[in-house]
Amino acid sequence: MAEYVKVSISMPSDMVAGLKEQVGAGGVSAYVTEAVKVQLQMDMLDEVLADMEAKHGPVDAQKVREIEERYFS
């Protein structure tokens, strides 16, 4: 099981209000955790694509969209 660490972040107040309205006050941590997880995955994909392009030339944009839809939707 993952170890959890409490962190403090600053966000625009209207965004926090919308977030709490969407998920309830008790769901904020889970929602933000999932959003960060997805962003980290996207960042890793960007790194892999950059490495592939450096070695093999440009990546087919349609193939990238298909992979993103399959794994990140």
Q: What is the pLDDT of residue 64?
A: 82
**Contact criterion met (CB below 8 Å) for 68 and 45:** yes
pTM for this prediction: 0.66
Q: What is the pLDDT of residue 2?
A: 86
Q: How far apart are the C-alpha atoms of 72 and 45, rounded to whole Å?
A: 10
Domain boundaries, given as residue ranges, for the chain: 13-72
Condensed to tens digits (0 to 9), the pLDDT of residues 28-63 reads: 999 999 999 999 999 998 888 889 889 999 878 898
Cβ-based neighbour number of residue 30 at 10 Å? 10
* Residue 26, helix vs strand vs coil: helix
Q: What is the pLDDT of residue 14?
A: 97
**Contact criterion met (CB below 8 Å) for 19 and 31:** yes
**Contact criterion met (CB below 8 Å) for 40 and 32:** no
DSSP annotation of 60 reads: P
